[in-house]
Amino acid sequence: MFKTIFSFLLAFIFLLTFVSPSTQSLGTFKVNSTIALVQGCDNSTYSNISLVYYPNGTTSINSENAMIPSGDFYTLSYTKNQIYGTYQVYGHCDENGVDTLWAYTFTINYSGKDYPTDVIWLYIIAILTEGALIYLCIKGVMNIPRENPKDEYGDILSISKLKYFVYALILGAWFLTAGIFFILSNVAVYYFAESLIYKLFLGLFTVMMRLGIVLVILMGIYVFLKILDDGKVKELIERGLPTNGHK
């Protein structure tokens, strides 16, 4: 199961290395900000925006909207950008006296920053490092004895404190996995600009962190009770009495 999940995460990450910005893009902007849609048209008397499509394909603007002249360019303020993703803008102007169509895109994400693809390797290194630590935690949980050593009659020979380390490894693997989901949520925002993927990973991170708090409390209570029980067993061992029924 762990190998399957880890393979999926690797496939997701390496897919990011092929993400590249569009060559006809106005840029990347922060969600819910005011964007100046700009278009240059030489020797023109007007420039209109006719269509703007949301990332999900629905229409944001579907009528003629006159842009305002500003020097050698035309501008129009746009505020309907609550959805993450790539927007498509279509318009026309009378460039050099000829009605000419133009089009470009712009991207909306959480930060408004257009991160270079090279930065993804920092995320890859972080995820691979956490993945390796998770693997080591799981190996430790599988190999460290969880009970006190016993003789052939079932009597405990000594108290093993190493078994408590198992619970620390379980918590470590749990929170490291939550950390991977948090990193992936940031990657989704900056590189895919898809709210669905971002919300999925951020939701998994949030759920795991909340459950992690409950897990810490429950494990803390369990370990405390085990320590109390080990104290009783230690007294029996020191007095030379049988310890059957204890772990």
Tell me, yes or no, whether 179 lies in a domain: yes
Instruction: Tell me: do 34 and 121 sit in the same domain.
Output: no
Tokens representing residue 93 in the block: 């102007």
Strand duo 25-30 + 98-109: pairing: parallel
Across 19-26, average pLDDT: 60
Taking only the tens place, the pLDDT of each residue in 154-213 is: 777 788 888 899 999 999 999 999 999 999 988 877 666 556 788 889 999 999 999 999
Instruction: Tell me: do 228 and 122 sit in the same domain.
Output: yes
How many structural domains are present in the chain? 2
Tokens representing residue 91 in the block: 């318009």
Contact 28, 112 (CB under 8 A): yes
Q: What pTM was estimated for this model as a whole? A: 0.60
Please report the pLDDT score of residue 175 as a whole number: 96
Across 137-160, average pLDDT: 84
Q: Which domain holds residue 156?
A: 117-238
Question: The dihedral of CA 68, 70, 75, 77: what is its sign?
Answer: negative
Taking only the tens place, the pLDDT of each residue in 44-85 is: 899 999 999 999 899 999 999 999 998 779 999 999 998 888
Please report the pLDDT score of residue 17 as a whole number: 43
User: Would the pLDDT of 217 be above 50?
Assistant: yes
Instruction: Tell me: do 85 and 27 sit in the same domain.
Output: yes
Which of 58, 75, 109 marks a domain boundary? 109
Query: Cα–Cα distance between 210 and 179 in angstroms, integer?
Result: 13
